[in-house]
Amino acid sequence: DTGVSQNPRHKITKRGQNVTFRCDPISEHNRLYWYRQTLGQGPEFLTYFQNEAQLEKSRLLSDRFSAERPKGSFSTLEIQRTEQGDSAMYLCASSLVGLAGDEQFFGPGTRLTVL
């Protein structure tokens, strides 16, 4: 197991297009988080899954954003009708309850550029 993976690593799109990102967590990690990081800022929480259930969504997550985690394994984050303000690094993290104090392990991120 090589850790959390995210695809694609980079995505350039035009305003108004839809994009989808994928996150593959560490095997058997039952918790999965999405964060967004804009230039010069720390990551901000977007949403959280425990197994397949989406248990919390940030107010940052507008109606154009949707996340899924079917079967409690990989997760996808879709942004519809992208706007220039959506340009950011989207980070995924996973953790296992009871392991190392529920330490979150981060993926390399997907950098989105909206033109």
Partner 1 sequence: AQTVTQSQPEMSVQEAETVTLSCTYDTSESDYYLFWYKQPPSRQMILVIRQEAYKQQNATENRFSVNFQKAAKSFSLKISDSQLGDAAMYFCAYRREMGYGGATNKLIFGTGTLLAVQP
Which residues are at the interface with partner 1 (CB under 8 A)? 3-4, 31, 33, 35, 40-45, 48, 50, 53, 55-56, 91, 93, 95, 97, 101-104, 106-109
Nearest approach in angstroms of CB 75 to partner 1 is 15
Q: Which is nearer to partner 1, 80 or 105 (CB)?
A: 105
Task: For residue 85, give the 3-state DSSP assignment.
Answer: helix
| Shortest Å distance, C-beta 95 to partner 1 | 7
Structure tokens at 12: 């350039």
Cα 37 off chain centre by = 11
Task: Indicate the residue among 39 and 84 with the shorter CB distance to partner 1.
Answer: 39
Tell me the closest approach of the beta carbon of residue 102 to partner 1, in angstroms: 5
Of 82 and 95, nearer to partner 1 (C-beta) is 95
Q: Which two tokens stand for residue 99?
A: 């392991």
